[in-house]
Amino acid sequence: MLDDPLWSTWWVWMAAGLVLAILEVMVPGYIFLGFAAGAVVMGILLASGLFPLGAGWALVVFAVLSLIAYILLRAAFRGDETQVKVIHHDINDN
């Protein structure tokens, strides 16, 4: 299975990124967004032709890219946990 040249084809990674991004829209919580970003970046790397990787190395690079994307997205979307929202006005008050 890992000897299949399909793993080193750029459009397979781009399609996987698209499927994972669509899955992220259906399942909230930023679960698949890092994987989608990793797959898209992997597709770009393979399409550029600069990194001709075998299947095993392609999966390793995908895992590392997904981890980096997850860490960056978590830092970008993290709210300020120290700030507490205080409501001074109730909508039912006249």
What is the reported pTM? 0.74
**Contact (CB, 8 A) for 62 and 39:** yes
Domain ranges of the chain: 5-77
d(CA 24, CA 36): 8
pLDDT, tens only, 47-92:
888 877 777 888 899 999 999 999 998 888 776 666 677 778 877 7
d(CA 32, CA 44): 18
